[in-house]
Amino acid sequence: MKKRRVVITGLGVISSIGIGKDEFWSNLVKGKSGISRIESFDTSNLPNNYGGEVKEFNAEKFINKHKINLLGRSSQLAIAATKLAISDAGIKKGYFDISNVGTCIGTTMGENQILNILNRDWLIKGLALVREEFLSEYPNNIIASNLGIEFGLKDSNLMFPTACAAGNYSIGYSLDLIKNSGVNCMIAGGVDSISIVAFVGFSRLYAMAPEKCQPFDKNRKGMMLGEGSAILVLESLESALKRKANIYAEVLGYGLSCDAHHMTQPNEEGVSKCMIKAMDEAGIGIDDVDYISAHGTGTPQNDKTEAAAIKEVFGKRYKKIPVSSIKSMLGHTMGAAAAIEAVACCLSLKDGILPPTINYETPDPECDIDCIPNKARKQKVDIVLNNSCAFGGNNACLVLRKYYD
């Protein structure tokens, strides 16, 4: 059976620098920072007080107000991003048989604000007085389930809890389902909301910078925690052409690897293998890559390792490939990160603009890649790699290409 080509026709994003792809992209290209002082919980006793909160989000604009209290913030963000993506794709109600449309969502923390409430009530009131429904509202799978219920989707309904690489995992698996099965359309992406549970956890790992994220800078001090959601509409090329949809990009392939090296530290060999696998599946070589969207967390070890992996894979050409980290603006949105970066890659392919790595001040000899410092760059782009690396050594690399007839 001939495998179907798969394209991206809709983009929805909720982020600290914009809600909706247009506001998000405009601010990304301008190099706007979404980092501000945390307001949703008290950080006064913590060494870090800043993050990428989404402060302009109003759930009632997207969700019936009677349902909002039944949903955690991550589900709210994911539903809102999905509505934006479906609208952007121009999918009319009833166009698809809803039994032939699936959801595939990635996350790190799941409904972690529910966990925060559960922990607080347990400590203050005791276990006997914790509301039982909290236990059913917490598991990661509840986010995909809530999406399925909200939109009446009855095909594949999946969650990938592969942490910071989960967005690429969800897009890659959606590609497989459309290419190799009867699924016509997939709602794919990632989501995570910021909470004191996540904030304290990353703070205790000593992985967070005090005020700003500086990927690939010699004096980088760590990541900034963020939140958000990005959803992409993937469908077969035949379906997209039939309904004359706007096509942002074609998904050529993806690669996965697991370092099996360390719980939190990345491994050069694992990241290199991931990029090579992705390019092999996509049928491209190192000379075909025009841009790399880096994982680029701003931690000393991650950036050093990712830069070394890029050098290993691309050899003498590594300085000629533009590489940038939009986490410098958004912070690390955990399970949403790779999906938000995939949205940025689609828009780079569409507009021929590469987003910058802001806060870049001092070159690091160990990270001597072209990191597009501080200002966006206009450039013809045909093929991009989207790198993501997660705790536990879970790596995923996505290959996107500008769509041509």
Contacts of 363 (CB under 8 A, 6+ apart): 217, 218
Q: Has 164 been annotated as catalytic? A: yes
Pick the catalytic residue from 104, 213, 274, 332.
Answer: 332
Phi, psi for residue 326 in degrees, rounded to 5? -80, -5
Q: With 0-12 CB in 10 A as exposed, 13-18 as middle and 19+ as buried, what is 294? A: buried
Could you give the CA distance from residue 149 to residue 155 in angstroms, rounded to a whole number? 12
Type of residue at 190: G
Pick the catalytic residue from 295, 345, 367, 371.
Answer: 295
Handedness of CA 192, 193, 197, 203 (dihedral sign): positive
| Residue 395 Cα to chain centre, angstroms | 13
Could you tell me if 323 and 271 are in contact, meaning their C-beta atoms sit under 8 angstroms apart?
no
Q: List beta partners, residue 189.
A: 105, 231
Burial 177-206 (b: 16+ CB within 10 A, else e): bbbeeebbbbbbbbbbbbbbbbbbebbeee
DSSP type of residue 95 = S
DSSP characters over 147-205: HHHHHT--S-EEEE--GGGHHHHHHHHHHHHHHHSS--EEEEEEEE---HHHHHHHHHT
Burial 122-131 (b: 16+ CB within 10 A, else e): eeeeeeeebe
SS3 content of the chain, % helix, strand, coil (to 5): 40, 20, 35
Pick the catalytic residue from 164, 345, 367, 371.
Answer: 164
Contacts of 210 (CB under 8 A, 6+ apart): 47, 48, 50, 221
Task: Give catalytic residues, as residue numbers.
Answer: 164, 295, 332
